[in-house]
Amino acid sequence: MAPAVSAVLFFFGTGLAPIPALTWIAPLPVLWAATRVSGRAAFLGGFLAYLLGLASQFEFFWRTPSVPRPIGMLILVGSSLLFAVVTLLFRALVRRGWPLLGACAAPAAWVGAMHLITLVNPSGIIWPLATNQAEVPIVTQIASVTGAWGVEFLVLLVPAAVAALLSPGVAGRARLRTGAVAAVICALTLGFGAWRLAGAPAGDPALRVAVLSATRHQWAPDAASAGGRALVAAYAGQIAALPAGVRTAVLPEGTFGTDESSLPSVVGPLTEAGRGRGIDVVVGVVHTTPAVKYNYSVQLPADGSAPVFYTKWHFAPGEPFKKGTELGFARGHADRVGLANCMDLNFATPSRDYGRAGTRLLAVPAADEFGNGWQHSRMGLLRGVESGFTVAWAAQWGTPMISDPWGRVLGGTDTEGTRAPFVVAVADVPAGAGTTLYARFGDWFGWMCVVLAAAGLLPFLRRNPRPGTARPAEQPRAALGV
């Protein structure tokens, strides 16, 4: 029964449209049961609870071209196996008389393993637990210090600590230490979140930003075709009709497909539309030359000066694009405005590099798919909290969004569920939070979790459980549904 309850809670508490409160309690039933059953049953229960909880994401990973199908299935099965290992580690430590270490080493093993995986994973990461808390700013502020890894750790620490407190055979002092440490960590995290939010300014009218997208999904339509020319004209009309005061407008990734001859037919009309309103336009362009293919984010300055081309850094395996290696900054801005592109934010860089460079606004043309628009945009939101900048996320087939450096959603819309040909969101964004500790020091917390997880293995060098700890009797597996 416990794995089934956790699976239902994971299903509704994680994924493409999560209920944030459920994420915190989803691991609890299976962790509670783990110390009462055999190791084999605990491992199997953890695996099934997490795998079944991911059922809502099977279709996405099966259909998306952004993640090769074998890698998608590996992500689903691999993360379920990792959760099973975490469950087994938690069980073993608590039963050996180390409930505090179990409550901390289990989430550390989860975070540490995922951190190591991101070093080699070509698709980067959309944090499975932290992203679900993206719209709970008092929790996500810790990402400015630890990166989103800190949120990921905390969401698993809380149910692990509760399960340890409820485990049979744990001595009274050990319970007290476990509860006290977990309570202090939570109190410090929430206190820091409240303090940081209290210092967050309101929007600055001097920097008004818009994100806009056509609601009909068209990946890189040929700008030279009749349909492409009509789409250019339609976007130019939307830019010209933006509210007064907008200074930067961001369009989606792959808004147009161009070559050397057709590129001016995009640059000219959109620049002219922006120049008439004093608006810099940032647009995603898939550009083909005889030698190579580029996925660009292009800034068209309102003063009519030469465009700025940013080349996307990160792609799904097998994509035929040249990879970028340099940051791109908008021309003509007193405020530092950086350029990025969709999947780039799945990775710590270039986001952290922009944070170190003092970026105030990151303009991100994006292209989401198969219902993952909310999840992917909120991953971008967390990158903004990590490194201290506003994110203007303009997605086709997704969730255009503007979030500030404190993770507050200032404006947003959705390309689904409307008959309007375009959707637009506008917001006044505050000055950047400044270079964060995470931007300065990187993934130190992820590495600390690797060390803490390794420390969780030390008690197994002892032959016997911690003195004074009784081993709880194992309950029949059938009684717990595993």
Q: Is the pLDDT of residue 480 over 60?
A: no
Q: How confident is the model at residue 460 (pLDDT cuts 50, 70, 90)?
A: confident
Q: Is the pLDDT of residue 403 over 70?
A: yes
* Better-scored residue on pLDDT, 166 or 482: 166
**Structure token pair of residue 144:** 């400015």
pLDDT of residue 375: 94
Give the H/E segment covering residue 208. strand 208-214
Q: Taking the mean position of all CA atoms in its chain, how far away is CA 373?
A: 11
CB 362 within 8 A of CB 354: yes
Cis peptide before 29, with omega less than 30 degrees from 0?
Answer: no
Question: CA end-to-end span of the chain, whole Å?
Answer: 7
Q: Is the pLDDT of residue 476 over 90?
A: no
- What average pLDDT does range 31-48 have in this prediction? 96
DSSP string, 120-138: T-TT----TTTGGGTT-HH
CA distance 238 to 255: 14
Taken in order of first residue, the domains within the chain and their CATH numbers are 2-199+442-480 (no CATH), 208-432 (3.60.110.10)
* Better-scored residue on pLDDT, 215 or 467: 215
Q: Is the pLDDT of residue 468 over 50?
A: no
Q: Taking the mean position of all CA atoms in its chain, how far away is CA 353?
A: 17
Cβ contacts of 464 within 8 Å, gap of 6 or more: none
CA 274, 276, 282: angle at the middle one, nearest 5? 5
Q: What is the pLDDT of residues 226-272, one digit of tens each?
A: 999 999 999 999 999 999 999 999 999 999 999 999 999 999 999 99
pLDDT of residue 471: 56
* φ, ψ for residue 407, nearest 5 deg: 80, 15
Helix (H, G, I), strand (E, B) or coil at 214: strand
Cβ contacts of 431 within 8 Å, gap of 6 or more: 201, 204, 207, 335, 360
- What average pLDDT does range 424-440 have in this prediction? 93
**Structure token pair of residue 296:** 């660009």
Q: What is the pLDDT of residues 120-169, one digit of tens each?
A: 888 889 999 999 999 999 999 999 999 999 999 999 999 999 999 999 98
Report the sign of the C-alpha dihedral through residues 294, 369, 222, 230, in that order.
negative
pLDDT of residue 227: 96
**Structure token pair of residue 286:** 């898939």
pLDDT of residue 481: 47
How large a percentage of the chain has pLDDT more than 70? 95
CB 267 within 8 A of CB 308: no
Short-list 111, 192, 122, 114, CA closest to 154? 111
Q: How confident is the model at residue 475 (pLDDT cuts 50, 70, 90)?
A: low
pLDDT of residue 319: 81
How does the average pLDDT of the chain come out, rounded?
92
pLDDT of residue 478: 45
CA distance 146 to 347: 15
- What average pLDDT does range 321-339 have in this prediction? 89
Q: What is the pLDDT of residues 75-115, one digit of tens each?
A: 899 999 999 999 999 999 999 999 999 999 999 999 999 99
DSSP class of residue 463? S
pLDDT of residue 381: 98
Q: How confident is the model at residue 62 (pLDDT cuts 50, 70, 90)?
A: confident
How large a percentage of the chain has pLDDT more than 90? 80
CB 465 within 8 A of CB 471: yes
